């Protein structure tokens, strides 16, 4: 069975998703989650770093659209100073909004990245729609039981990614240890 949860790529932060990296993959558009990917829940407005990141991508011919499962008030306020295509209530992992966003930008799934912090919604939505999935650790996760359970479900897939691509420090978030450490000569 095809694994639709394990991210294609992982980075410590959205800021590390650079124009050079995206261009090397032939990417022309990034569909980005907002909450815990670009900003914590309690940050209603984008900051200068968001603006700089979006502008750097735009300069390289890479568009950004916001695809969030959060409601319109959150998404519209965050997007107001940015002026991007923005889609609230996206119902990820459904493909529907991802397809609408790609059509609006005139890009194909092969030219598009889904950027998010959750494997079961963002990574899965991207991969089963034919996009490249890029996952970052949540900026500031909720600590309720439901979110803890979701993170527990993600662990085997993060562990698999670590095995394939090497351990990164930010994987501590999922309580994954660097199993290669003890094997060093």
Candidate residues 10, 28, 32, 36; the one interacting with Mg ion per rule CB under 5 A: 36
Angle at 20 between CA 159 and CA 131, to 5 degrees: 55
Separation CA 99–CA 73 (nearest Å)? 22
CB of 121 to Mg ion, least distance (A): 7
Asked whether position 154 contacts Mg ion by CB under 5 A, the answer is no
33 binds Mg ion (CB under 5 A): yes
User: Restricting to residues 83-122, which ones interact with Mg ion according to CB under 5 A?
Assistant: 117
Task: Work out how close the CB of 177 gets to Mg ion at its nearest, in angstroms, rounded to a whole number.
Answer: 25
**Closest distance between Mg ion and the C-beta of residue 92, in Å?**
9
Structure tokens at 39: 């900003």
Give how many residues touch Mg ion by CB under 5 A.
Answer: 4
Stretch that binds Mg ion, among 4-12, 28-36, 70-78, 104-112 (CB under 5 A): 28-36
Residue 6 or 90: which CB sits closer to Mg ion?
Answer: 90
By CB under 5 A, name the one of 11, 28, 35, 107 that touches Mg ion.
35
Q: What do you get for the CA distance between the two ends of the chain, in Å?
A: 36
User: Closer CB to Mg ion, residue 118 or residue 132?
Assistant: 118
Closest distance of CB 184 from Mg ion, Å? 35
Alpha helices in the chain (DSSP H): 19-24, 48-59, 72-79, 96-105, 124-128, 145-165
Please state the closest distance from residue 112 (CB atom) to Mg ion, in A. 18
As a whole number of angstroms, the distance between CA 114 and CA 184 comes to 35
CA distance 185 to 47: 45
| Residue 167 burial by Cβ neighbours in a 10 Å radius (0-12, 13-18, 19+) | middle
**Interface ranges with Mg ion (CB under 5 A):** 33, 35-36, 117
């Amino acid at each position: 069975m095809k694994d639709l949860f394990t991210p294609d790529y992982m980075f410590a932060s959205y800021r590390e998703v650079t124009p050079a990296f995206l261009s090397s993959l032939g990417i022309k558009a990034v569909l980005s989650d907002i909450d815990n990917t670009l900003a914590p829940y309690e940050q209603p407005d984008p900051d200068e770093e968001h603006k700089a990141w979006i502008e750097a991508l735009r300069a390289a011919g890479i568009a950004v659209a916001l695809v969030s499962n959060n409601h319109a008030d959150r998404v519209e306020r965050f997007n107001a100073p940015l002026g991007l295509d923005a889609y609230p209530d996206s119902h990820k992992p459904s493909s529907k909004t991802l397809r609408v966003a790609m059509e609006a930008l005139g890009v194909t799934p092969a030219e598009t990245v889904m950027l998010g912090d959750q494997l079961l919604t963002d990574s899965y939505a991207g991969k089963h729609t034919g996009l490249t999935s890029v996952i970052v650790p949540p900026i500031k996760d909720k600590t309720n039981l439901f979110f803890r359970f979701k993170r527990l479900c993600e662990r085997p897939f993060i562990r698999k990614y670590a095995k394939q691509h090497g351990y990164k420090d930010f994987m501590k978030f999922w309580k994954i240890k660097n199993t290669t450490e003890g094997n060093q000569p």
